[in-house]
Amino acid sequence: MKVLVVGNGGREHALLWKLSQSPLVEKLYCAKGNAGTAKLAENIPIEPVDVKALADFAQREGIDFTVVGPEAPLVAGIVDEFEKRGLKIFGPDKKASLLEGSKVFAKEFMQRHDIPTAEFHIFEDPQKAKNFIKDFSVPVVVKADGLASGKGVFVCKTYEEALRAIDTLMVKRSLGEAGKRVVVEEFLEGEEASYIVLLSGDRYVPMPTSQDHKRLLDGDKGPNTGGMGAYSPNPFVDEYTEHSIRELVVERLIKGLKAEGIHYRGFLYFGLMLTDRGPRVLEFNVRLGDPEAQPLLMRIKGDFLKTLLDFYQGKEISLEIDHRHSLCVVLASRGYPEKPEDGKEVFGLEDVERMEDVIVFHAGTELREGKVYTRGGRVLNVCAWGSGLQEARERAYIAVEKIRFEGMHYRRDIGNRALSRFS
């Protein structure tokens, strides 16, 4: 089979790594790819959001199956375009992708279908938003309505921070049209959890649990990012909690989609806060999380391409999960997430490749004359397996110490909260 993966990041490198293990694969392609994907696939110089050019390529090259990594092409309607041409593609269509494409749509959908989430209010006028915030309790969360690569959420501890967030999004338009509308919602306390399922209509299969680390700095400080690290499994999601997530969140969402005539097929990510009142939905993502995909795919055994194809075709599937733990540390460029630096040579990758139970997934990288350079905010994902979380963590950070590039930044506390709680 000829298989195309759409996207440039660590998630897409991890997908290619997993798909490449399938005996069904004849050739892999990646659009647009990075220095890491180039070792597994032919990188195609087409932007992930150029859906017509990608569909043309898939038709021309006889691509048998396409897997979409990031949200932007899904929201842009890549699935609709491919299916119109009779091309097989794994991901939700444009209508279903509104669950991530619009925070307003997602919050109102949850309200309509009694899916537990934070109290929220929607604003299109910045002054009205500011007036409301002055009477709202802090901390408070301000979210851009549209896509923002994980950078449109502001957790504000003071009124001044909240007012600045409104100015940044709605007045200065730092995120363009994404900040035209905002959601102001209550701050939830608890442990975050990422719960990802394969969903097709009313059939769903949960993937392993995980926890992401969204904030830039140690101790969950600094601005929100696309994710600075993740691990799996998530010990905060015990059997009782998972039952609650499935009953109160996943199954209510499926009923809601059916009631509104929306057919969903693809990965669906539930970003959750586990509160003392039960699970609450922070956000939906209409694709695998990044960096959660990396440790998750490391724990899935067997032929993942066959699994996706069988699920796509309506067959029953089950996932065989590696009992080991996995952990991912993101290495980012100086200036991330606002203005990341580019063009810094990366050293030490060969040393890490010789390590056992360690794998590096490339994100923001490019090849120049055989050398790897940074290209973007999140550069590399250093991942490791271990018999437990502590071993996986130690192995990953030993590998991190072997890599260097100018301005390299990473969190040093990935997994610490779980270790301190459960050790």
**pLDDT tens digits, 235-247:** 999 999 999 999 9
Least Cα distance to 224 among 238, 233, 211, 214 occurs for: 214
- Beta strands at 325-332 and 378-386: parallel, antiparallel or unpaired: antiparallel
**Could you give the domains of the chain?**
2-93 (3.40.50.20), 119-186 (3.30.1490.20), 191-321 (3.30.470.20), 325-422 (3.90.600.10)
pLDDT at 38 (0 to 100): 98
pLDDT at 14 (0 to 100): 98
Least Cα distance to 312 among 267, 252, 258, 262 occurs for: 267
pLDDT at 422 (0 to 100): 83
pLDDT at 151 (0 to 100): 82
Residues of the chain with pLDDT under 50: none
- H or E stretch including 271? strand 265-275
pLDDT at 254 (0 to 100): 98
pLDDT tens-digit series, residues 201-259:
999 999 999 999 999 999 999 999 999 999 999 999 999 999 999 999 999 999 999 99
> Would you call 19 helix, strand, or coil by DSSP?
helix
Cα–Cα distances in angstroms (integers) from residue 15 to residues 202, 266, 411, in the given order: 25, 14, 24
Tokens 């590399």 found at: 380
pLDDT at 137 (0 to 100): 87
Tokens 């490019």 found at: 366
